[in-house]
Amino acid sequence: MRLPELRVMGVDPGLTRCGLGAVEGRPGAPLRMVAVGVVRTPAEDDIGARLVAIEAEIERWLDEIKPDAVAVERVFAQHNVRTVMGTAQASAVAITCAARRGLPVALHTPSEVKAAITGNGNADKKQVGTMVTRVLRLDAMPKPADAADALALAICHVWRGAAQNRLAQAQALAGRGRPVALQPGYRHPGAGR
């Protein structure tokens, strides 16, 4: 059974730079970049004004891109509390915008995304950008890194989200959530890249 194409918008949250990217495709088939960009807000602006600017741009993207799902980077603890707070606030804006439209939202940790894209959960930004460029067959690496990270989130969700949905559907069909074995020869779409 061939899986339907999925259009996913990725959000790499941040107050100063919030990366946005959208891809379309299905696991096991080439993906296409739909759009990529960054929302920038001045550090000297009031926090409320910055969040409203991010919300307006995310809403504009949702109107234009019409994604099937939104993938947002899961906020993780850092030593810089101020950075974590800004990231969490921008993340909440993205989640709220998607939820307002009834879109499914998936949260992926940075290490999940890195592992899905490069095969290494500790990959650096250049490695992620290089693989995003390769996977999407782009002429140049998206810049800044926030833009490439947003595309990586979207790619990760197409690959991982589809696999997770298939497992959930198989378990539901098997009855009462009993585990179901994958078909022999099943291969993760990001394997061997």
Give the pTM. 0.82
Q: 5, 12, 24, 149: which one is catalytic? A: 12
Is residue 193 assigned to a domain? no
Average pLDDT over residues 33-54: 97
Burial category of 76 from C-beta neighbours within 10 Å (exposed 0-12, middle 13-18, buried 19 and up): exposed
Q: Kindly report, residue by residue over 138-193, the tens digit of the pLDDT.
A: 999 999 999 999 999 999 999 986 555 554 455 556 655 444 444 444 344 444 43
Is residue 5 among the annotated active site residues?
A: no
Integer CA distances (angstroms), 140 to 54, 65, 135, in order: 26, 22, 12
The terminus-to-terminus CA distance of the chain in angstroms comes to 24
Q: Which of 46, 57, 59, 146 is catalytic?
A: 146
Domain containing 38 equals 6-174
**23 in any annotated domain:** yes
Average confidence (pLDDT) over 64-81: 86
184 part of a folded domain: no
Rounded CA gap, 157 and 85, in Å?
24
pLDDT value, residue 163: 56
- What pLDDT sits at residue 12? 97
Given this model, what pLDDT does residue 185 score? 42
Domain CATH code at residue 81 = 3.30.420.10
Q: Is 12 a catalytic residue?
A: yes
192 within a domain of the structure (yes/no): no
Q: Is residue 191 part of a domain?
A: no
- Which range has the worst mean pLDDT, 34-43, 83-92, 165-174? 165-174
Average of pLDDT values for 113-132?
94
pLDDT at position 3: 75
93 has pLDDT over 60: yes
Q: Give CA–CA dist 82/58, Å, rounded.
A: 22
* Distance between CA atoms of residues 109 and 164, nearest Å: 16
Average pLDDT over residues 44-71: 97
Residue 180 domain flag: no
> In the structure, what pLDDT confidence band is assigned to residue 23 with cuts at 50, 70 and 90?
very high
The total number of residues written for the chain in this structure: 193
Say which of 5, 46, 63, 73 is annotated catalytic.
73
Task: Return mean pLDDT, the chain.
Answer: 86
Q: Is 189 inside a domain boundary?
A: no
Check if the beta carbon of residue 113 is closer than 8 Å to that of residue 128: yes
Decide if 188 is inside a domain: no
Would you state the pLDDT for residue 56? 98
Q: Which of 146, 192, 111 is nearest to 37 (CA)?
A: 146
Query: Structurally, how many domains does the chain consist of?
Result: 1
The whole-number pLDDT of residue 182 equals 42
pLDDT above 90: residue 17: yes
